[in-house]
């Protein structure tokens, strides 16, 4: 029996290069795939534009955050230094004592500073903040040591001054007679006085008011003289309460006005926006050694 033999034909092979997708050559496939992966010029421009807008927004947020942080730091610095100064004054004024000396030896004295030109700052809601610059002096006693302490604002023509603290001591009450005269003499030697120590810059207000035990402004009488500009006590007299008001500029404003002439600096600081950057501290202090009814 003869079997039918069917020859097996080999598969057809292309004569040219091997074909790929859709009849394309391998090189054509690679070009086609690469073309699908790449961005067109329009797409690139849109992406760059979106990225640029994101960067601008982020820079704006960063700038606002930085400004807010700087403002917060400035306020924190001023508030901290102002509180420390008020705490020091409060602690010292509470200890004020009479020295029993005559009117040539004041043991408490407060007065407006002659020649000072304090700022009158406009308030945001209307009205003005009328600053004043004063000096005051008093005597405290620790054991057998009497200490003369004074505060003075060295005013500048632009209405902003530097706060100085005077200090001297003696071992006798009679020795305190020279303290007040020594204080006034050392004020005249600023800024080169060895007994006047720099406390703070940027002070726009230092006011001192005295009150009796009933909370009223005392009148002049034996061993005391009190009027609108001066409060002086000697002998055994003392005010029952002393109220201190202190206003301090933020430090960046102090640096900024250093390069301005006085008139320009005053106009700049009296604007209501700068009033909001002036920090006011106020404290009414009981004088422990003052006579009470």
Question: What is 61-116 written as a DSSP string?
Answer: HHHHHHHHHHHHHHHHHHHHHHHHHHHHHHHHHHTB------TTS-SEEEEEPTT-
Core vs surface per residue 130-159: b (16+ CB within 10 A) or e: ebbbbbbbbbbbeeeebbbbbbbbbbeebb
Q: How far apart are CA 34 and CA 20, in angstroms?
A: 15
**What's residue 254's pLDDT?**
87
**What's residue 287's pLDDT?**
96
Residue 16 lies in a domain: no
What is the pLDDT tens value at each position of the chain, 293 positions in all?
A: 444 555 555 555 555 555 544 555 555 555 555 555 677 888 888 888 898 899 988 888 877 777 777 766 766 777 888 899 999 999 999 999 999 988 888 999 999 998 888 999 888 888 888 899 999 999 999 999 999 999 999 988 888 999 999 999 999 988 999 999 999 999 999 989 999 999 999 999 999 999 999 999 999 998 999 998 999 999 999 999 999 999 999 888 888 898 899 889 999 998 888 888 888 999 999 999 998 77
Residue 180 lies in a domain: yes
- The count of domains in the chain is 1
**What's residue 22's pLDDT?**
53
Residue 185 lies in a domain: yes
Residue 21 lies in a domain: no
What is the pTM assigned to this prediction?
A: 0.76
19-58 pLDDT, tens digit each: 544 555 555 555 555 555 677 888 888 888 898 899 988 8
Residue 276 lies in a domain: yes
**What's residue 62's pLDDT?**
79
**What's residue 225's pLDDT?**
94
Residue 40 lies in a domain: no
Q: Which domain holds residue 148?
A: 62-286
Residue 53 lies in a domain: no
**What's residue 78's pLDDT?**
77
Query: What separation in angstroms does the CA of 33 have from each of 16, 18, 19, 36?
Result: 22, 17, 15, 5
**What's residue 74's pLDDT?**
67
Dihedral angle over CA of 197, 74, 84, 170, nearest 10: 0
**What's residue 181's pLDDT?**
93
Core vs surface per residue 166-188: b (16+ CB within 10 A) or e: bebebeebebbbbbbebbbebbe
Residue 19 lies in a domain: no
């Amino acid at each position: 029996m003869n079997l039918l033999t069917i020859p097996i034909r080999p598969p057809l092979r292309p004569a040219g290069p091997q074909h790929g997708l859709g009849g394309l050559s391998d090189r054509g496939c690679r070009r086609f795939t690469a073309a699908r992966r790449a961005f067109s010029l329009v797409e690139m421009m849109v992406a760059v534009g979106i990225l640029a807008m994101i960067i601008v927004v982020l820079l704006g947020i960063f700038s606002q955050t930085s400004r807010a942080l700087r403002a917060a730091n400035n306020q924190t610095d001023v508030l901290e230094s102002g509180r420390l100064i008020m705490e020091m004054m409060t602690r010292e004024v509470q200890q004020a004592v009479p020295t029993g000396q005559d009117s040539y030896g004041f043991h408490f004295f407060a007065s407006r500073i002659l020649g000072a030109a304090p700022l009158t700052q406009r308030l945001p809601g209307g009205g003005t903040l009328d600053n004043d610059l004063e000096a005051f002096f008093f005597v405290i006693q620790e054991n057998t040591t009497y200490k003369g302490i004074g505060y003075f604002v060295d005013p500048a023509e632009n209405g902003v001054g530097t706060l100085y603290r005077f200090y001297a001591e003696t071992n006798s009450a009679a020795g305190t007679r020279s303290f007040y005269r020594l204080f006034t003499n050392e004020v005249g030697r600023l800024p080169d006085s060895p007994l006047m120590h720099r406390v703070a810059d940027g002070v726009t207000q230092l006011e001192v008011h005295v009150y009796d035990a009933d909370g009223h402004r005392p009148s002049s009488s034996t061993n005391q003289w009190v009027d609108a500009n001066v409060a002086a006590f000697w002998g055994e007299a003392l005010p029952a309460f002393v109220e201190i008001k202190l206003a301090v500029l933020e430090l960046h404003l102090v640096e900024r006005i250093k390069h301005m002439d006085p008139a320009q600096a005053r106009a700049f600081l009296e604007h209501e926006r700068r009033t909001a950057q002036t920090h006011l501290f106020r404290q009414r202090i009981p004088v422990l050694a003052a006579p009470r009814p």
